[in-house]
Amino acid sequence: MPNTTSLADRRRALRYDTTIKAVIRTSQGARHAVVLYDLSEGGCALTASGHPLAPGVSYGLKINGLETLGSVAAWANGQSAGLEFQHALHPAVADHLVRLHPPVEEEPDHA
């Protein structure tokens, strides 16, 4: 029987707000600093300062303490993208990363 899992079904995975500094690598070997702000076992959303990202492109995602994760950009909008991991993170690994890297609250401007 074919796999009929829709994108909406896959997005039902528990998602965590976080702030994780990482690096992505393109197939050409270029490396770019990124910040993950949304993480699930199956993927993440991130921003890449100064580097446009493209949907359908494969990236290697390196988070300190983990092996490089193979991923593909499911969507991209300028310097933001959603990556789908080739192999899902173990739930305990995702939980550990989020505990180590809580979301950073932006400080209000003081005049």
pLDDT tens profile 21-75: 999 999 899 999 999 999 999 999 999 988 899 999 999 999 999 999 999 999 9
Q: How far apart are CA 9 and CA 85, in angstroms?
A: 16
pLDDT value, residue 86 = 97
Residue 84 inside a domain? The answer is yes
Distance CA 82, CA 47 (A): 9
For residue 36, tell me if it sits in a domain: yes
Number of domains in the chain: 1
Asked if residue 6 is part of any domain, the answer here is no
Let me know if residue 68 belongs to a domain.
yes
- Residue 65 inside a domain? The answer is yes
Q: Point out which residues pair with 74 in neighbouring strands.
A: none
Q: What is the pTM of this model?
A: 0.81
Structural domain that includes position 56: 15-100
Q: What is the pLDDT of residue 51?
A: 87
37 found inside a domain: yes
| CATH code where residue 81 lies | 2.40.10.220
Predicted pLDDT of residue 67: 95
